[in-house]
Chains A and B, each alone.
Chain A
Amino acid sequence: GAGVSQSPSNKVTEKGKDVELRCDPISGHTALYWYRQRLGQGLEFLIYFQGNSAPDKSGLPSDRFSAERTGESVSTLTIQRTQQEDSAVYLCASRKQEGQTYEQYFGPGTRLTVT
């Protein structure tokens, strides 16, 4: 079946511009996560959506970052006034439901380069 998809796969933008990254989770997955991965680094948690609950935004690094999710479908991560330190791969993952035994399924990521 279809996995998690993300678009665009690559995005080059100028410093100060806004960007929008999209994630399409696996159908029926109630949980959705965004992570940032800087070059050669591990995963940095950004935000978590679970069903209709209020999202966990505790990982967002600044108020320039925001994310939305419509129901249990598409999510968009928006970065306003991009800075060079925002350059990274942004990974999205979905999960069937809440519960510690359920694994995450990751998309291929969006590589963001801020020039």
Chain B
Amino acid sequence: AQSVTQLDSHVSVSEGTPVLLRCNYSSSYSPSLFWYVQHPNKGLQLLLKYTSAATLVKGINGFEAEFKKSETSFHLTKPSAHMSDAAEYFCVVTYRDDKIIFGKGTRLHILP
């Protein structure tokens, strides 16, 4: 069955340290992959997307993600966390049949 797994429900990092939010998807034909961010009491905003071009994708606010087909992963990273990055992050996968699968989300906490 098609699925997407966000391995951590909560991640805490100190301000200024790197961020890693993990996402794995079930193997299929090449999927399209997206990361969305949801700040408290706000709607979801697209951070970045992978659609079979470059495997390293750069997004807004300094985030990037690397598509690794051999590992079926699309982990989200940022070199240096900022307090404003505290939010919920969702990994989303769409497959050739256009089915959209949301991960359960990872809440990122930034420690001062």
Using a CB–CB cutoff of 8 Å, the interface residues on chain A facing chain B are 4, 33, 41-43, 45, 91, 93, 98-101, 103-109
Give the contact stretch, choosing among B18-26, B42-50, B66-74. B42-50
Known contacts A106-B44, A108-B42; A100/B90 CB under 8 A: no
Indicate whether A101 sits within 8 Å of B100 (C-beta atoms), given known contacts A91-B43, A108-B42, A109-B43: no
Question: A104 touching B51 by the CB < 8 A rule?
Answer: no
Q: List 17 A-B contacts (CB under 8 A).
A: A4-B43, A33-B100, A42-B90, A42-B103, A42-B104, A43-B102, A91-B44, A93-B44, A99-B98, A100-B32, A100-B51, A100-B98, A101-B94, A104-B44, A104-B100, A105-B46, A107-B43
> Which chain A positions have C-beta within 8 A of B103?
42
Interface string of B37-76 (1 = CB under 8 A from A): 0000011111001011000000000000000000000000
A to B contact number (C-beta, < 8 Å):
46
Q: Is the CB of A103 within 8 A of B96?
A: no
Judged by DSSP, the binding face of A is loop
Q: How far is the CA of A107 from the CA of B51 in the complex (A)?
A: 23
* B43 pairs with A106, CB closer than 8 A: yes
Q: In the complex, what residues of A have CB within 8 A of residue B51's CB?
A: 100-101
Q: Give bound CA distance, A98 to B44, whole Å.
A: 20
Bound-complex Cα distance A114 to B46 (A): 30
Inter-chain CA distance A104–B47, complex, in Å, is: 12
- Known pairs A42-B105, A104-B44, A109-B43. 9 more at Cβ < 8 A? A41-B104, A42-B102, A42-B103, A93-B44, A100-B51, A100-B98, A101-B51, A101-B52, A101-B94
Cross-chain contact A101 with B32 (CB below 8 angstroms) = yes
Instruction: Answer whether A98 and B98 are a contact pair too, CB < 8 Å, given A43-B90, A106-B43.
Output: yes
Given the known interface contacts A108-B42, A108-B43, the answer about A103 and B34 at a Cβ–Cβ threshold of 8 Å is yes
A100 contacts across to B, CB distance below 8 A: 31-32, 51, 94-96, 98
Q: What per-residue 1/0 map shows which CB atoms of B86-112 lie under 8 Å from chain A? A: 000010101110101011110000000
A45 to B94, CA, bound (A): 14
Contact residues in B for A98 (Cβ distance below 8 Å): 98
